[in-house]
């Protein structure tokens, strides 16, 4: 599942990670992360790097189903 820009920002906030730290974890510029969080377009590989970094930090992006909308979960112990 490709997470929306809103979910990427929400996940960062849930983990209490600064934008600077997440950008470093993802290997992207802080400006790219600011663009994502401002809903400005970035390359797909950039947003996917941010998503992967969040997943490695303990976030699970739950896809939409027939009865429920998409969601974010945090793994236990994070």
pLDDT tens string 2-40: 999 999 999 999 999 999 999 999 999 999 999 999 999
Instruction: Please report, rounded to a whole number, the percentage of residues in the chain having pLDDT higher than 70.
Output: 100
The boundaries of the domain holding residue 40 are 5-74
For residue 55, give the CATH number of its domain.
1.10.260.40
Please state whether the predicted TM-score (pTM) of the whole model is above 0.85. yes
The token duo for 41 is 């377009």
Rounded percentage of the chain residues whose pLDDT exceeds 90: 95
Q: How far apart are CA 72 and CA 30, in angstroms?
A: 23
- Residues belonging to the chain: 78
Dist CA 62 CA 40 (whole Å)? 23
Count of domains forming the chain? 1
């Amino acid at each position: 599942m490709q997470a929306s820009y809103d979910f990427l920002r929400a996940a960062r906030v849930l983990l209490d990670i600064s934008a600077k730290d997440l950008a470093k974890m993802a290997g992207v510029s802080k400006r790219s992360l600011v663009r994502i969080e401002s809903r400005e377009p970035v390359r797909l590989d950039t947003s996917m790097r941010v998503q992967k970094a969040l997943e490695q930090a303990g976030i699970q992006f739950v896809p939409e189903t027939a009865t429920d909308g998409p969601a974010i979960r945090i793994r236990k112990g994070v």
